[in-house]
Chain A
Amino acid sequence: MSLRVKIASAAGEMASIASRSLKIGNGDAIGGRTALFIDGDILKVLGRNVKTVLVSGTNGKTTTNRIVYEVISKNLDSKCAYNSNGANMEAGIAYSLINSKNATYGTFEVDELYFEKIGYELNPTAVVLTNLSRDQLDRSNEVRRIAASWERFFGRNSELCVVANCQDPLIVYSLRKSKNVTWVNPGFSWYLDAKSCLICNSQIIFSNDEWACSGCDFKMPNAQIKVANKVIEIDGIKQVEVDLQIPGRCNVGNFAFSLGLAVMLGIDIEKAKDAAEGVSDVAGRYEVFSMDEVEFKFRLLLAKNPAGWQEALSMVEDSSMPVVVALNAQVADGKDPSWIYDVSFEELKNRHVICCGQRARDMGVRLYYAGLAHEVVHDFSLALKSKRLHEEVAKVAEKTGLKLSDVTVDIIANYTSFQAFRTLLGKSVSLNGK
């Protein structure tokens, strides 16, 4: 290791410690930024000694990366670096590498817009691609711009091992020159950003869980790994029954990607499954909290974009229990929340909905036009203390014969509002795994 890298690493660690002790942040990004400032090539240099897996896509990066981390670190008898805090640009990944000396493996979630750049720098051993859909369009402008940058990268790295979603034409396009792909059919249902062919611009026809272009031979590749409810089929022969602690059909899909990677790395399928089933929450997602002076509990769900909301709404129990929805529009959320009109909030009918966050009023108007009973309380803490929320919970509990202590109210939040709730509720008690 050169002196420059040593100094950069040490400075990064100091900046990170300072940031944490001053309670500015978790210190990952600032630590990495400091190191990168001193040595712009630090990612390349530190990455040389580590076999890296990169996980990218619009949704499911953090969860898939976490499962991959569990699978690798529990089975490959080696230290594995990973960006657990979701800092998924250059700085966050650099800091994870600085912070995990002697790691022989590293698994990192990577922001989809930065994937091409980070990919060239880290020269990964394997890549997992989950999906691409509309998200933060003020920043990315077009989803297809991301697919084009991925296609450039994989065109120059056509031998690279990739585990990828065959249901997503944008991903299949980006891998059209790749020779070493394990295709996974994760059972996702969003395809609205890929209705015109990326090769000839004719219509792509989707039917019966398959798709094909109407104008050229671009079509869905055959999946080696396929999700059918809670069972994952491998090569059409082996069936793996999954019993994850984390909810939602999307997470069975995310596990299927990890399984593809496990097979690629020569890890036993049953052991990979055991590692995945041990995960109960991922950086606050699905975490259940209790709050002082509140008898019932709260569960946190993250939903950043229409595809994510579609999945999150499917996790909300079918009842009349109130739901809290939170909407911010910071840089990390995307500054234009027009996309809330792509989400079928109508599914929340017959319940009281509390809207909070910076853009609570936008959400309120969305629900007004959906004909839902709702109230707007900008402040996160006041939203959870809303009198109406407590009255409604008590009413529903009484009607259904539930004890208040057995009631869990879902909070669905987009990125920065989710982080705000984590901080707020983190002061209370997390009940996962207890």
Chain B
Amino acid sequence: MEKLVIVDVYPDLLGTYGDGGNAEILKFRSQLRGYDVEIIRSDSTEPLVKNGDIYLLGGGEDAPQRLAKELLEKSGALSSALESGAVVLGVCAGYQILGESYVSNGNIESGLGLIEVSTSRKSSTRHVGEIIAKSPVLNGYLLTGYENHASETYLGKSVKPLGSVIKGSGNFTKYEGSNNFSEGVIYKTVVGTYLHGPVLARNPKFADYILEMKLGRLESIDDTEIEALRDERLSIVLNSSGAQSFGHHIGSFLTARKV
């Protein structure tokens, strides 16, 4: 590969929850393996690049999310890139619009329909807090992040969940008889997740998984500093017990003592 092109899709609309960091992380980790990398931050006022290798869509508020979906539909660049083998990672609002439906200001809207998932809002609960999900695709690797969304997402038969929720809500729906909520989705080269953090900052193996879809097997690198962060987050969140709000309380108590 001559140069890896990472496209941050509409950061001015889908960049509200810090997910823009995912692009930097992919760049850093592939550069460390000797690849030439370019990040294209493609604002909504410019035409979306067609020849990207990895497309990243982050979280955004309801109205900007709807605008992003409309622009993506009009542009067609994302679906044509996908047909040429591009990898797409959607987070939160960016994940929802990849599916068949999503909710904007209380109304069900049609999504881009790139994957067989649908998002609706049956309960008024907003899912806000630390989340941990175990990922079978990543050999049981624990994904850690922070979720902040209001809808629930249903996975169709053609797709697989990215993980199974241990703490938090994730998709807030259950997959094929599992007792846990599922989290995120994988379908061919499309990956969706509710995790912020940003998700690739707190989960380097997941970052490499995304890169390897494009670059093939990657040699391992020194992740000591990131592993220390993972250990801290995982132990604080896993050791917090019971209901989410109670869990938060204990979590902050434990960290407060560390300071």
Size of the A side of the interface (Cβ < 8 Å), in residues, is 44
Contact of A369 among B13, B17, B21, B197 (CB under 8 A): B21
Chain B: CB-nearest residue to A367: B225
CB-based contact A342/B67 at 8 Å = no
- Residue B113 at the chain A interface, CB threshold 8 Å: no
Q: Would you give the shortest CB distance from A124 to chain B, in whole angstroms?
A: 28
CB-based contact B259/A358 at 8 Å = yes
A357/B24 contact (C-beta < 8 A), A141-B148, A203-B45, A338-B146 known: no
Work out how many contacts link A and B, with CB atoms closer than 8 A.
122
- Residue A120 at the chain B interface, CB threshold 8 Å: no
- Residue A79 at the chain B interface, CB threshold 8 Å: no
CB-based contact A195/B44 at 8 Å = yes
- Residue B103 at the chain A interface, CB threshold 8 Å: no
Given the complex of chains A and B, what is the CA–CA distance between A364 and B230 in angstroms? 12
Q: Which of A141, A335, A341 has the most CB of B within 10 A?
A: A341
Given the complex of chains A and B, what is the CA–CA distance between A380 and B61 in angstroms? 35
Given the complex of chains A and B, what is the CA–CA distance between A144 and B67 in angstroms? 15
- Residue A51 at the chain B interface, CB threshold 8 Å: no
CB-based contact B259/A335 at 8 Å = no
Given the complex of chains A and B, what is the CA–CA distance between A369 and B201 in angstroms? 9
A341/B61 contact (C-beta < 8 A), A137-B17, A195-B13 known: no
CB-based contact B146/A336 at 8 Å = yes
CB-based contact B15/A192 at 8 Å = yes
CB-based contact A137/B63 at 8 Å = no
- Residue B229 at the chain A interface, CB threshold 8 Å: yes
Size of the B side of the interface (Cβ < 8 Å), in residues, is 44
User: 1/0 contact trace for B179-218 toward A, CB 8 Å?
Assistant: 0000000000000000011100110000000000000000
One of B135-143, B167-175, B250-258 at the interface: B250-258
CB-based contact B255/A365 at 8 Å = no
- Residue B226 at the chain A interface, CB threshold 8 Å: yes
CB-based contact B44/A339 at 8 Å = no
- Residue B25 at the chain A interface, CB threshold 8 Å: yes
- Residue A180 at the chain B interface, CB threshold 8 Å: no
Contact of B196 among A330, A338, A368, A380 (CB under 8 A): A338
Within 8 A of A (CB), among B36-52: 44-45
Chain A: CB-nearest residue to B104: A201
CB-based contact A201/B63 at 8 Å = yes
User: 1/0 contact trace for A133-159 toward B, CB 8 Å?
Assistant: 010011001111000000000000000
- Residue A398 at the chain B interface, CB threshold 8 Å: no
- Residue B85 at the chain A interface, CB threshold 8 Å: no
Given A202-B67, A368-B225, 9 extra CB contacts under 8 A: A142-B61, A195-B12, A338-B18, A342-B18, A342-B20, A358-B258, A364-B228, A370-B24, A379-B259
Q: Could you write out 7 A-B pairs with CB less than 8 Å apart?
A: A138-B128, A144-B61, A335-B252, A338-B18, A341-B19, A365-B229, A369-B21
Query: B residues near A, CB below 8 A?
Result: 11-13, 15-21, 24-25, 28, 44-45, 61-64, 66-67, 126, 128-130, 146, 148, 150, 196-198, 201-202, 225-226, 228-229, 232, 248, 252, 255-256, 258-259
Query: A residues near B, CB below 8 A?
Result: 134, 137-138, 141-144, 192-193, 195-196, 198, 201-203, 205, 328-331, 335-336, 338-342, 357-359, 361-362, 364-366, 368-371, 376, 378-380, 420
